[in-house]
Each structure stands twice: as C-alpha cells, then as structure tokens.
Structure 1
Amino acid sequence: MFDLNYMPLIGILVVVVGFALKFNPLLVVTAAGLATGIAVDMDFIALIETFGEKFMNSRQLASFLLILPVIAILERYGLQQRAKTWIANIKGATTTRILSMYFVVRECSAALGLLSLAGQAQTVRPLLAPMVLGAATNTHGDLPKPIKDLISAHAAACDNIAVFFGEDIFIAFGAVLLMDAFLKENGIAGIEPLHIGLWAIPTAIAALIVHLFRLARFEAKIRNLIAEHKSQQTKNAEGALS
C-alpha cells in the first residue's frame, strides 16, 4: 500500500472556500498555489520563481487588452443600442433562449480551441448583454436596475462557465499541457493530453446540462422579481397616499 499525502490537496480547499466567500479570484488562485507549494515543502524562492516563470510563459494572454479600444469605439457609435433594438424586433426571442444558445456555441467553440471567438470584452458586454436585455424588455416591459444587473450577470456567467468547462477538452490548451508536463515531471507516466481531454468531456456535458436547467428556470425568476417589484411599488404608492 502506498502512503498517500493529502496535504497538496489543500490548494483545492483554498479555491473552494475563497470562491464560496466571493473573494477576488486572482488572489484566491494565487493563495491556493502558495498553499500547495508550502504543503509539499517547496522552497519559497523556487515557488516564487515558478509563479514568475508561468506568468512569463502566459504573458500573451494579456493581448486581449488590444481589443478594448476597438470595442469602446463600437460602443461609442451605438453597437449596444443596435443589438438591443434588433433582438427586440424578433418575436419569440427570450432571455433564456439567447443565453442557452450562446452557452452551447461558446462551450463547443472552446472545446475546439476557438477561445478568442468570443469573450467578455468583445462579445458579452457589447452584444450578448444588450441582446438579452432587449429580449427581456420586449417580454416584460421596462426593467428595474437590479433585474437588469441580474440579467447582465447571467450573460457574463454563461461565457465564464462555458469556457471554463469547454477549454479543457482541447488538448493543445495551455492548462492541459501544463497538467501533462506536471504529471511527467513527477514520474507519473502513461497519461497523455488526449486522455485529459477525453476525461474532460463528461464534466463539460454535466456543466452544460446543469446550466441549461438553471437558465430554463431563469425566465420564471425574472417574472417573479418583476411582480415583486411592482407589488412593492404599489404598496409604497398606497402608503404615500395614506
């Protein structure tokens, strides 16, 4: 029997607790990495060097900042308004249907390695969020700000969740290659990137089913929140008259 050391798994606990408490994701992931390194008695200087090395190897991820000026110019000339108006003119377009369709497309494209095909800056803010807000306005009328914020948050969550679970299927994705290199460096042979990608498929399918189920209930939640808001407004008006 092998004596298993579960201390390196403390990083998972840090991630779960940090996300549950809604701390800054970057700080949570950094703390999890530090906790794992310390748990395996890794030299602190070597640990910091590892952080720096991985950051330098992934510095091209910051290239998405180049698209922000382009998105700003498009928004300045009414991209959001046009998207909202276009969706509002389509009969049968609902918040749930648009978000569900986007989730499926986004997860499938991420599985094929097309991570830059969409994203928070280039798609969610200028296009997806205005489209779902336009559909909700077309269905329910004018929306109070808290409900608008809730719908926009769901639009952002669709992109994050779809990419998170879809990208691990793509065997050339950086995280998959990092896991493969880590396993080989620690003497764990027989596991290839293809195996990691294949085992990511059931998780991605489960995430798809769970999130589509949540979105199916979202339309009813919007109706209930609007009804509560109108009821509260009526009570406030009656109280002011009395």
Structure 2
Amino acid sequence: MSAYLPLLGIAIVVIGFLLKFNPLLVVTVAAFVTGIAAGFDPLAVLAALGKSFNDNRFVTIVYIVLPVIGLLERFGLQQRARALIAGFKGATAGRLLLAYLLMRQAMSALGLTSVAGHAQTVRPLVAPMGEAAAETQLGGLDEDTRETVKSYAAATDNVGLFFGEDIFIAIGSILLIKGTFETYGIEIAPLHLSLWAIPTAVLAFLIHGARLLLLDRRLAHSSPRHPRESGDPASSYGSVMKKRDSRVRGNDEGGGS
C-alpha cells in the first residue's frame, strides 16, 4: 500500500486544478507530498526542485522580458507601432504579416525561437501594426475585421515558428521525432530530419503567404472605402458639394411649386 502513496501528488494536482487554486502552489505542494511520501527528506525535495529549475533556467528566462513589454505597452508601445505603420502608404495588413512570416521562419530556423512570439511581438507590435495597415488601406475597420486581422497575426506567428524551428538541428521537436523513430527500430540522423524540414517550411511559407495576400483582397471587397474615411480631401469635398447641390435643387423645386 505504501508503494502507492507517491501517487497522492497526482490527486492533489487534479483536485487543485478543479478547485481553481494557484497552479504554481498546487504543483509545488504536489511535488513535496510526492517526495515525502516516497521517503525523501523535505530538504532533499527542495534541493531536487532547485536543481531542476537551475538545469532548465534557459526555458523560463524569456519570462523576464514580459514585465518590460508590459511597461512598454503602458507607455504607448502599441500607439507608436500604429503611428509608424500608418506612415507607409503602400503598407497593407497582408504585406506586413508576410514580412513578419519571413522573419519569424528565418529566426526559428536559426534556433532563435524565443526572439518573437505572441507575448513578445504579436500582441504589442504585429497585431496593432496590422490593424493600422488595414485602416490605412480601408479607411476604417469594424470590430469583426479588426478581430480577423488579429487572428491572422497570431496564425502567422504559429506557422512561422512551427515550420521554421524544425530546420534547426538542436531543437526539441527534432529530438522527439528521432526518439519516436528509434522506438520502432528506425535509425535516422537529426541532420536528415532538418534537411527534409526545409521543403515543408518553403511550402508552408508559400501557402500561408498566399493566404495573407488574399486577405488584402478580401478586406478590400468586404469593406469598401468611404470617401470621408479615405483621407482624400478632393473626394470628401466633392461628396459634400453633391449633397449641398441636391439640397439646393430640392428647395428651388419646392419654392417654385
């Protein structure tokens, strides 16, 4: 019976998540309960947790950047990004995201997967810049169109990372594939897996790139540009004069009758 006591940690995790307790607290308590039930001294459990964190500290170091991004957003990072992209008249949401896709895939292929991401770049920079580019192109965005641009920005990051990181030989996914093949008795070098990931990455870039370019056409057809929103003084002035002429004619006809 005592051999099953370490499984109490699993029960603590399940109950803690069901009751919506703090996940970090739940996992820590579960680790201590499991270690003590297995016969370890509390200090030994604490030492094991510290060693595990120290060995994998490179995984969590990216979270140090998040408070900095939060401060930048508080002081107008998104507004600056919008203003920057709004200054480029030829910029569209699709072209902007296509450039980001190329950058994301290239950086991931070099192993720099943490340089960009949803928290680091998509939410504070890419999505606002995509919205600003669409506003420059269309003159105004409704809520559905705005959410569409945001979703394409998030999808672009996912595609770039997922199909780009496998080109880098020392990535977890390559090692996972290698280990899976070895369980079935298939020996394959990680370099071969990385090389065969290149055609897949190229196809992913072409397919998603085409979707991004089609996004511009879809936005242009679904949201026709209104003269007042276009920023063109001549078209705006012309529409105002037409309305004024129609009113004058209506008054003249009413007075003549």
Shorter-chain TM-score range:
0.5 to 0.7
State the alpha-carbon separation in 2 of the partners of residues 225 and 172 from structure 1. Answer: 44
State the alpha-carbon separation in 1 of the partners of residues 225 and 86 from structure 2. Answer: 24
Shift of 1:182: 3.3
Length-normalised TM-score, structure 1: 0.66
Q: Which residue does 2:176 correspond to in 1?
A: 178
**Of 102-111 and 58-67, the range deviating more from structure 2:** 58-67
> Does structure 1 residue 193 correspond to structure 2 residue 172?
no
Q: String of CA shifts for 1:190-236, please: whole Å, max 9, x gaps.
A: x100011011111111111101111111011112222499xxxxxxx
- The partner residue of 1:123 within 121, 135, 145 is 121
Q: Please list, as runs of the form range in 1=range in 2, the aligned pairs for 1:36-47 lying within 5 A after superposition.
A: none
Gaps of 5+ in 1: 1-54, 230-242
Q: Which residue does 1:143 correspond to in 2?
A: 141
Aligned residue-pair number: 174
Q: Which residue does 2:111 correspond to in 1?
A: 113
| Letter of the structure 1 residue corresponding to residue 118 of structure 2 | Q
RMSD of aligned C-alpha atoms?
2.3
State the alpha-carbon separation in 1 of the partners of residues 211 and 56 from structure 2. Answer: 33
- The partner residue of 1:224 within 217, 221, 224 is 221
State the alpha-carbon separation in 2 of the partners of residues 140 and 186 from structure 1. Answer: 54
SS of match in other structure, 1:116: coil
**Of 75-84 and 113-122, the range deviating more from structure 2:** 113-122
**Of 64-73 and 143-152, the range deviating more from structure 2:** 64-73
Q: Please list, as runs of the form range in 1=range in 2, the aligned pairs for 1:1-242 lying within 5 A after superposition.
A: 61-189=59-187, 191-227=188-224
Q: Which residue does 1:36 correspond to in 2?
A: none
Shift of 1:62: 4.4
Shift of 1:160: 0.4
CA distance 1:85–1:145, shift in 2 (3 Å) = same
Shift of 1:61: 3.8
State the alpha-carbon separation in 2 of the partners of residues 221 and 74 from structure 1. Answer: 33
State the alpha-carbon separation in 2 of the partners of residues 211 and 58 from structure 1. Answer: 34
Larger radius of gyration: 2
Length-normalised TM-score, structure 2: 0.63
State the alpha-carbon separation in 2 of the partners of residues 161 and 174 from structure 1. Answer: 17
